[in-house]
Amino acid sequence: MNNENTVVLTPEGYLALEQELNDLKLNKRVEVINALKYARSLGDLSENADYDAARNEQAQLEGRIKELEYKLEHCQIIDNKDKNIANVGSTIVIEYEPGDEEEYKIVGSLEADPFNNKISNESPIGKAVIGHKAGEIISVESPNGAYDVTLKSVN
C-alpha cells in the first residue's frame, strides 16, 4: 500500500487529523453557513464584500475538508511494534559526535515539525535510521555529503 498517494501517519497523527476534520465539519462549517446567511440578508450580492469573503472562506473550508478526507482515506498508520528497531513512531537519540546528542521522534512527512524534534521518515536522518537498532553507527546521506551518527537509543 505504500505508493506516492499514501500518507504515512503515526496513530497520534491520524487522531489529530480526524479531530481537525470533525471540528471543521461540526463547528466551522456551521459558522461559515451562518456568515453566508447574514451576508445574504444584507441585500445586493453583486457589491457585498461580506458575502464574497464568506464564499471565499467556504471554498477554503470545503477544500481543507476534502484534503483531510483524502489523507485519512489514503493513509498508512505505522504503529511500531518492535520497539528495538527505529521506525515511524519511534523516539530515537542520535549522537553526532561524543557529547553532542539529539532526541527525535520519527513521524510521517505530514506530521513533521523540526522545531519540536519531530522528523520525517523521508528526511535524511529519518531515512538513514529506519530499520536500525541502538548502538549502530549509521551513515546519513545529506545534500552536504554523508556523515556518520551513532544511534544511541530507540523507544
Is 85 inside any structural domain?
Answer: no
Q: Which one-letter DSSP state was computed for residue 27?
A: I
Q: Residue 25 belongs to a domain with what CATH number?
A: 1.10.287.180
CA separation (Å) from 16 to 9, 23, 77, 115? 10, 11, 13, 18
pLDDT at res. 1: 43
Q: Is the CB of residue 15 less than 8 Å from the CB of residue 81?
A: no
Q: Is the CB of residue 76 less than 8 Å from the CB of residue 87?
A: no
The type of residue at 88 is V
Q: Residue 141 belongs to a domain with what CATH number?
A: 3.10.50.30
Is 2 inside any structural domain?
Answer: no
Instruction: Return d(Cα 113, Cα 44) in angstroms, integer.
Output: 45
What is the extent of the structural domain holding 96? 91-154
Instruction: Indicate whether 25 and 73 sit together in one domain.
Output: yes
pLDDT at res. 3: 59
Instruction: Indicate whether 38 and 97 sit together in one domain.
Output: no
Is 146 inside any structural domain?
Answer: yes
How confident is the prediction along the chain (155 residues), in pLDDT tens digits per residue?
Answer: 455 678 899 999 999 999 999 999 999 999 999 999 998 888 777 778 888 999 999 999 999 999 999 999 999 998 777 788 999 999 999 999 999 999 999 999 999 999 999 999 999 999 999 999 999 999 999 999 999 999 999 99
Instruction: Return d(Cα 39, Cα 43) in angstroms, integer.
Output: 8
Number of structural domains the chain divides into = 2
User: How many other CB atoms are there within 10 angstroms of residue 103's CB atom?
Assistant: 12
Instruction: Indicate whether 24 and 54 sit together in one domain.
Output: yes
Instruction: Indicate whether 66 and 101 sit together in one domain.
Output: no
Stated pTM of the model: 0.77
